[in-house]
A and B are shown apart, each in its own frame.
Chain A
Amino acid sequence: MESKRVETVSARVDAAAAVSSTDSVEDELELSAVRHRPEGLEQLEAQTRFSRKELQILYRGFKNECPSGVVNEDTFKDIYAQFFPQGDASTYAHFLFNAFDTDHNGSVSFEDFVMGLSILLRGTVQEKLIWAFNLYDINKDGYITKEEMLDIMKAIYDMMGKCTYPVLKEETPRQHVEVFFQKMDKNKDGVVTIDEFIDCCQNDENIMRSMHLFENVL
């Protein structure tokens, strides 16, 4: 679906090497400066639910932070960590990164980014719930196990940091997971499938309401 035009500067390096002799170290550095240009504005407009102006604003912010056009996981973690100064957001950012990196190539391009945002901000509740399910399902096998949920929960609690009130205890995430499973796992088979998940969320008023929380973000 996506046609990435990855433009390495190897061609430039070769030309430059013909003219002048550069170190092998410099070659490596230049080759690694991969630049990525996203597809055209029209295509993105068609694929996402953002307007032209919104895409422009999004891209400007994206490009400012990642001039190379792609976000790798470390940058992603850094950016996300800035919003949660008190805790450690790296684990959750890792899961988030995997959720955005739909083609699993280790980097989030602008298309991935905008697709994800389109679902989260402009998608239907169903789509949002599916996205959330994908976030929780770490190994993407269609089931959320308790271990996966525990990892996610710990990641979320890590973001709180140490100085919380009441004091965070070791088994708070585990208990939270228990509560979650009690609510979601209808047939008590120890895993939550996507249907169970969506069903349960749709029946929960709180969750439904909170799904609409960020609609006017952009």
Chain B
Amino acid sequence: MAAGVAAWLPFARAAAIGWMPVANLPMPVAPAEKNKRQDELIVLNVSGRRFQTWRNTLDRYPDTLLGSSEKEFFYNEDTKEYFFDRDPDVFRSVLNFYRTGKLHYPRYECISSYDEELAFFGIVPEIIGDCCYEEYKDRKRENAERLMDDQEDNKDAKLPNMTFRETMWRAFENPHTSTMALVFYYVTGFFIAVSVITNVVETVPCGTVPNQKEVPCGERYTVAFFCMDTACVMIFTVEYLMRLYAAPNRYRFMRSVMSIIDVVAILPYYIGLVMTDNEDVSGAFVTLRVFRVFRIFKFSRHSQGLRILGYTLKSCASELGFLLFSLTMAIIIFATVMFYAEKGSSSSKFTSIPASFWYTIVTMTTLGYGDMVPKTIAGKIFGSICSLSGVLVIALPVPVIVSNFSRIYHQNQRADKRRAQKMQKARLARIRLSKTGSSSAFLHSKRNGLFNEVLELTQLPYKMNLSNQGNTEEEKRLSKSTSLIESQHHHLLHCLEKTTNHEFVDEQYYQQSYLEAGLQNYPSRSPSLSSQEGVTGTCCTRRSKKRHSPLPNASAPAHMQPLTHTHTHQQGLQELSAIHIQPLSTSRSSLNMRIDEPAPLNCQSSQITTAIISIPTPPVTTPEGDAHLPAGPAHQNIVKVSAL
């Protein structure tokens, strides 16, 4: 129960007087307040700082350290105060929780120290109020990630029984795991660099053969470059094949970007090998050489940044596409305008609209090569407008990419938050559980505390104000498990049960009984309900002769008998489930008919209900045994009517 609400319990109990006149059953005994002391101030000394509060404030949460008797361990007899050797700053939040019912997380506090304090004082962090919960969870997640990073280094530790293939794959993916992997990593990196430089240097003109123009180095030192190329490609091929072998899922590996880059990097060489003799396709062969530059992308295995950039561009694709589209529109517009503006002038370079595209692009990107310039006045005016608008338009892509980058970054955050949301649901479930805990606590205490209550009743005459001496023993038994507030709350729920003559049960029992209500029951020793209409759902009470709808004729056996209170405890605690009687007017055929029908049965037609059998060991007991019929020899007139 929430904190402040506990203060309203007296009000709720007082308001229960409103039920009394309509109740037909006697009310249960109120739990007497054992040595009811006046509300007193207690002093909590936390590392020297003294906090004072009412004792009742702390009693609101009996399942925490301060609310239970556990704090007595910290009681200092000499100074008559409770001393805790803990952090006083965090204790402020803890104590405020008792006062206001809300737990707040101070932002300046370290998350782990806060958690420790909460654990010490027995407070579940899930109760943190919504105002501070996000912050708390974020900090906790950061902390956990930091711990996880530390642990991840250990994660790469070699598992004992890894096959050679798995070892290889691990070596490829995490180069720092073993020396061999590191060597391999650097060797491949070196050869990628060599290959790229070779491609570049190939085209540099180095020296002139006397009677020819400058030749690029590639043609001068053909053999050397060919050997270099061969070596690189061999290394790359071997690497690719090894990766292919080691990959856990080869098909997926072959489809991955990196492997495609690998293939594209080495394929031209092999194609070139195959096609050397054919002169016609040598032009195509030259083109293929261009693809060798893709080897540079192999560096992305070595560089995390490249990968992120690639991923960013990939995810920015739609925005960049739209940007390109708007740019294209602008280009077309300006090109058209410039073309028609410059159409009149002589020797104008603006020969067609597509020709003007080049001018527009160069002007808008503020390049201004100067190979095409407008000559007419109109052309110059529109040209200046073009360049000014170009400045604006070029400024557009930058925020797009930036925003996309931050979006990708936040996507990662959101994935974490989604994980946190699942924990949020779990949190809400826990809070709900603690709330329903109060109702389940009631059901639980019903089952446990009942013997005590019944003994109370049986030993003393039925008086509301029990004398103190009379019930101290029972009190002790009762109050062992529940605090005073809880027992008072339970008493309130008891009174409601008595008023309505129904009991609280838990969900599962309810389902079960609801299902059983649809079936006819058998004279076995099992509780079952009647689902039929007619009588209200409970057994007779002591004096409620009026409750039952017309009792069946004498031939129909079961009917209630008013009991006296003293009778009850002779029989001990027995319970009868609901007994419902209906005039046994239906014929056997209708009985058979009834069996097929599932719950809920309609009330209109007269039906057979089956009488319930008394149960020696009650699954759900009620405090007032007198309210229920004990089975026993004294009640022969209770008949187990089978519906069959």
The distance from the CB of B398 to the nearest CB of chain A, in whole angstroms, is 36
User: Which of B11, B54, B501 has the most chain A CB atoms closer than 10 A to its own CB?
Assistant: B11
Binds B, one of A16-24, A28-36, A127-135: A127-135
Given the known inter-chain contacts A128-B17, A207-B20, please indicate yes or no for A117 contacting B11, CB distance below 8 A.
yes
Interface hits, A175-218 → B, CB 8 Å: 175-176, 179-180, 182-184, 197, 201, 206-207, 209-218
Interface centre among B8, B465, B501, B507, by most chain A C-beta atoms within 10 angstroms, is B8
Q: Which of B3, B14, B18, B22 contacts A176 (CB 8 A)?
A: B22
Q: Is the CB of A213 within 8 A of B509?
A: no
User: Which residues of B have CB within 8 Å of A166?
Assistant: 502-503, 513, 529, 537-538, 577-578
16 contacting pairs across A/B (C-beta < 8 A): A64-B3, A65-B5, A80-B15, A84-B493, A85-B435, A120-B15, A128-B17, A149-B22, A166-B537, A167-B537, A169-B537, A207-B23, A209-B27, A209-B464, A210-B27, A217-B488
Chain A 126-165, CB-CB to B under 8 Å as 1, else 0, gives 0011011001100000000000010011001101111111
Task: State A212–B27 Cα separation when bound (angstroms).
Answer: 11
Let me know if A212 and B464 touch, CB within 8 A. Answer: yes
Within 8 Å CB of B12, what residues of A? 80, 83
A82-B1, A85-B436, A213-B495 known; A117+B10 contact, CB < 8 A: yes
Contact of A164 among B10, B438, B502 (CB under 8 A): B502
Q: Which of B7, B25, B465, B502 contacts A61 (CB 8 A)?
A: B7
| Shortest Cβ distance from residue A55 to the other chain B in the assembled complex, whole angstroms | 13
Across the interface, name the chain B residue whose C-beta is closest to A200: B21
Does B221 touch A at the CB level, under 8 Å?
Answer: no
Q: Chain B's nearest CB lies how many Å from the CB of A125?
A: 10
Do residues B439 and A85 form an inter-chain contact, with CB atoms below 8 A?
yes
Q: Which residues does chain B contribute within 8 Å of A136, judged by CB atoms?
A: 18, 21
Chain A residues closer than 8 Å to B500, beta-carbon distance: 156-157, 160, 164, 172, 176
Which residues of chain B come closer than 8 Å to A57, judged between CB atoms?
39
Cβ of B138: which chain A residues have Cβ within 8 Å of it?
none
B513 proximity list for chain A (CB < 8 A): 165-167
- A-B pairs with the 10 shortest C-beta distances? A61-B7, A166-B537, A163-B510, A120-B14, A164-B502, A65-B4, A165-B505, A210-B20, A210-B27, A166-B578
**Interface footprint category on B:** 35 or more
Closest Cβ neighbor of A57 among chain B residues:
B39
Query: Which residues of B are interface residues toward A (Cβ below 8 A)?
Result: 1-5, 7-27, 30, 32-33, 38-39, 54, 99-100, 435-436, 438-439, 462, 464-465, 488-489, 492-493, 495-497, 499-507, 509-510, 513-514, 517, 529, 531, 533, 536-538, 543-544, 546-547, 549, 577-578, 620
Known contacts A210-B23, A213-B20; can you find 7 more A-B pairs with CB under 8 A? A86-B439, A132-B17, A161-B504, A169-B533, A179-B544, A209-B27, A214-B16
Contact A164 B505 (CB under 8 A): yes
Selected contact of B18 from candidates A83, A99, A113, CB within 8 Å: A99
B505: chain A residues at CB < 8 Å are 163-165
Known: A85-B435, A96-B18. A168 touches B8 (CB 8 A): no
Picked from A53, A84, A172, A206, the residue with its CB within 8 Å of the CB of B536 is: A172
The CA of A131 and the CA of B20, in the complex, are separated in Å by 12
Taking CB atoms, residues of chain B closer than 8 Å to A131 are: 17-18
Q: Once bound together, how far apart are the Cα atoms of A82 and B488, in whole Å?
A: 14
In the docked arrangement, what's the CA distance between A95 and B15, Å?
11
The reply to whether the CB of A70 lies closer than 8 angstroms to some CB of chain B is no
CA distance A201 to B39 in the complex (A): 36
Instruction: Give Cα distance in the complex from A113 to B12, angstroms.
Output: 12
Expressed in whole angstroms, the minimum distance between the Cβ of B50 and any Cβ of chain A is 21
CB distance from A184 to the nearest CB of B (A): 8
Cβ-closest chain B residue relative to A133: B21
Interface extent on A, as a size class? 35 or more
- Is there an interface contact between A132 and B7, defined as CB atoms closer than 8 Å? no
Select from chain A the residue with minimum beta-carbon distance to B543.
A206
**In this complex, what residue of B is CB-closest to A192?**
B21
- A41 at the binding interface (Cβ < 8 Å): no
> Is A6 in the interface zone, CB < 8 Å from B?
no
Measured CB to CB, the closest approach of chain A to B233, in angstroms, equals: 72
Among A113, A156, A197: residue with most chain B CB under 10 A? A156
The docked-state distance in angstroms from the alpha carbon of A156 to that of B21 is 12
If the complex has contacts A159-B496, A213-B495, are A167 and B4 also in contact, measured as CB distance less than 8 A?
no
Within 8 A of B (CB), among A50-102: 53, 57-58, 60-62, 64-65, 79-80, 82-86, 95-96, 99
- A124 → chain B, closest Cβ, in Å? 13
With A65-B4, A82-B2, A163-B505 in contact, do A182 and B17 touch (Cβ < 8 Å)?
Answer: no
A214 and B537 contact, CB distance less than 8 A: no
**In the complex, which of the residues A86, A121, A165, A210 contacts B14, with contact meaning CB atoms closer than 8 Å?**
A121
**CB <8 Å contact, A168 and B1:** no
- Taking a contact as CB atoms under 8 Å apart, the answer to whether A83 and B5 are in contact is yes
With A and B bound together, what is the CA distance between A84 and B488 in angstroms? 13
What is the CA–CA distance of A121 and B533 in the complex, to the nearest angstrom? 39
Pick from B10, B19, B438, B538: contact of A217, CB below 8 A.
B10
Q: Which of A60, A79, A117, A169 has the most CB of B within 10 A?
A: A169
Residue of A nearest to B514 (CB): A167
Q: Which residues of B contact A120 (CB under 8 A)?
A: 14-15, 17
CB of B332 to closest CB in A, whole Å:
48
* A116-B488 Cα distance, complex, nearest whole Å: 20
CB distance from A121 to the nearest CB of B (A): 5
> Counting chain B CB atoms within 10 Å of each CB, which of A169, A213, A218 scores highest?
A213
Residues of A within 8 A of B465 (CB): 212, 215-216
Contacts of A167 in B (CB 8 A): 510, 513-514, 517, 529, 531, 537
A82, A120, A179, A212 interface centre (most CB from chain B within 10 Å)? A82
Chain B residues with Cβ below 8 Å from A218 are 10
Cα–Cα, bound, A80→B99 (Å): 20
Beta-carbon nearest neighbor of B578 in chain A: A166
Q: B501: which A residues are within 8 A, CB to CB? A: 176
Docked Cα-Cα span, A8 to B162, in Å, equals 76
Q: Which of B4, B27, B495, B510 contacts A165 (CB 8 A)?
A: B510
Cα distance, A70 to B564, chains bound together (Å): 48
Contacts of B543 in A (CB 8 A): 206
